[in-house]
Structures are given as structure tokens and as C-alpha cells.
Amino acid sequence: MHPILRQIKQMKIRGAINIGLAVLDYLEDIGKNGFDEEFRKNADQAWKVRPTTVVAYNVVQAVLQNPSMKRIDEIRKSLHRINDAVPKSMCQRLRKLGKSLSVLTHCHSTEFVETMKQCKSRGMDIEVYVTETRPKMQGKITARALADAGIAVSYMVDDAEGLFMNDIDVVITGSDSIRKEGIVNKIGTMEFALLAKAFKKPFLVASSIWKIDTRKEFQIEFRPARELGFSYPGVKVLNPAFDITPWKYVSGVIVENGELRRWKDANKYVLPSGKG
Ligand code: RUB
């Protein structure tokens, strides 16, 4: 396996946009041998390494439309712009909720962390609760990044979210894919959304038009059982990496130039890959 794809598989590179950027590095590397049939075949393998995360798929489709180094570079610039545009939109949305906000999040999303930094730089008073996110503990990445940015942050076990639901103003997560069935994100996200609904708190998602998923076939990635650190004869260990939050629990999905409240709203956007 190509070293970049191996790093994606082993989650040394992770998070939807980072995976998309790494896939572009991979395409650039294999493109050095030319953009022929072999390139097309190998390009199509890239998104299958972590199949749930649609950015990788959309990036591959966009490059395959017109494969060249220039095209790869254009797409790279477009992905980099997300981490500026989406946090800006998200901050404007959050400002409507108040100047001082207590936020609950799950896992690690670059878009979420950048949003919190933007809000702070605009003078908002932000406090974040983050869950550890078993079994890979990506909550630690979020907690460290926020603390390093001078944002008040508390770290807690995954099942503590219900206890703090009364104390927070809004739940925000990242997203891997926006689909007809709902929002695909780290396993556990659906519980956050359900609790938010029960406690009448908004559930917002930081996303991007690159995450709109129009693939008919879709699979939730199941990772190796060994990541859970438990085995016993007769016990089947399940390790799904993502879940799907139905649209009825979602208050808004923030993308570059707007907000989606239902799947139908995705029709307004032509995907950069040309599909959609
Ligand atoms: C990460 C995860 C993130 C999204 C969005 O899962 O679910 O919320 O990928 O990330 P994993 P970003 O750790 O399994 O990749 O905002 O960085 O695109």
C-alpha cells in the first residue's frame, strides 16, 4: 500500500478535510508517472481506504474529470479555503445565539476547532466541553488544541454529555458526510443530537459542500476489533467508526455559503466534483 494511504488507514492522518488533502498528495505522487489508465485505477483506490468519509471520494472524482497537476492544486486550494470560510459562517450563526456560549462537542474536527478560535478572536466568550471519544480518544486532540488557543475547555468521558446538557447552550460537531439519510459523523454523534433535542438545545454541524454525499451505495466503516482492547471466546466485538444522525434532530448544517436544514437544501449546491 502507498505510504500516504497506509497513514490514512492507520488514522495517523484523520478528520475528513485532512483525509481529502492527503488524498490529493497521493494523487500528485502517483500522477508523476502520468495521468493514464493506471492513474485512474490507482486514484479510485484512494477513497476506499476510509470509505465513509466522502471528501476523499469527491476529491478523486473532481481530479478524474480532468487529471493534471494544475487541477490537483486548484482542488487543494479549495479545500484549504473551507477551514476559513466555514468557521466564519459558523461564528456568524453562533453570534446570534449569544456573545457568551458554552459549547458541547465530540471527537476532533478541524472545522470545529477553527470555529472556536474564530469566535474567540471576534471577542466571544467561549467555553467548551469535549468528550474523550473512545476508542481512539480524538477528544484529546480537541482539548489540547483549544487549551493551546487559550479557550476554556473541559474533557470528560463519553457518557457524561447528558449530565452537562443543562449547562450548555449549543452542541456542535464536525461531519464526514451529508447524506439523504442524515449527517454522518463519529460514532456517538447521534446521541448528542438526540439529547440536544430533548433538552431543547440547538445541534449544529460544521460541514462543507465537499461533504455532500450523493453516492447511492454507502457503508459505515467498521474498524478492527483490537482497537477496543477486549476479546473473549464467544464475544463478537463491534467497532463502528461512524453513525448517522437523522435530519429531524439537526438544527443546521453550516457550509461555505449557507446553511442546510434538510437534505433538499443540498440541491442548491453544485458539488465541486460536478456531481450532486
Ligand atoms: C473524525 C470525525 C470528524 C470529521 C470532521 O473521525 O468524525 O468530526 O471527520 O473533521 P476520524 P474535519 O477521527 O475517525 O477520522 O472538520 O477535520 O473535516
**In a mutational test of the pocket of ligand 1, which residue from 141, 185, 205, 208 has the highest number of ligand atoms less than 8 Å from its CB?**
185
Tell the residue nearest (CA) to atom 8 of ligand 1: 174
pLDDT attached to residue 218: 87
Alpha carbon of 15 to ligand 1 centroid (Å)? 3
Alpha carbon of 205 to ligand 1 centroid (Å)? 12
Q: Is 139 in the pocket of ligand 1 (CB under 6 A)?
A: no
176 is a catalytic site residue: yes
Q: Is 241 in the pocket of ligand 1 (CB under 6 A)?
A: yes
Q: Is 17 in the pocket of ligand 1 (CB under 6 A)?
A: yes
Neighbouring CB atoms inside 10 A of 37's CB total: 8
Q: What is the pTM of this model?
A: 0.95
Q: Is 111 in the pocket of ligand 1 (CB under 6 A)?
A: yes
Tell the residue nearest (CA) to atom 3 of ligand 1: 109
pLDDT attached to residue 271: 79
pLDDT attached to residue 270: 76
> Tens-of-pLDDT digits for all 276 residues of the chain?
999 999 999 999 999 999 999 999 999 999 999 999 999 999 999 999 999 999 999 999 999 999 999 999 999 999 999 989 999 999 999 999 999 999 999 999 999 999 999 999 999 999 999 999 999 999 999 999 999 999 999 999 999 999 999 999 999 999 999 999 999 999 999 999 999 999 999 999 999 999 999 999 889 999 999 999 999 999 999 999 999 999 999 999 999 989 999 999 999 887 777 655
Alpha carbon of 92 to ligand 1 centroid (Å)? 22
Alpha carbon of 275 to ligand 1 centroid (Å)? 22
CA atoms within 13 A on the CB side of 32: 5
Tell the residue nearest (CA) to atom 7 of ligand 1: 186
pLDDT attached to residue 117: 97
Q: Is 14 in the pocket of ligand 1 (CB under 6 A)?
A: yes
pLDDT attached to residue 275: 59
With 0-12 / 13-18 / 19 or more C-beta atoms within 10 angstroms meaning exposed / middle / buried, residue 100 is exposed
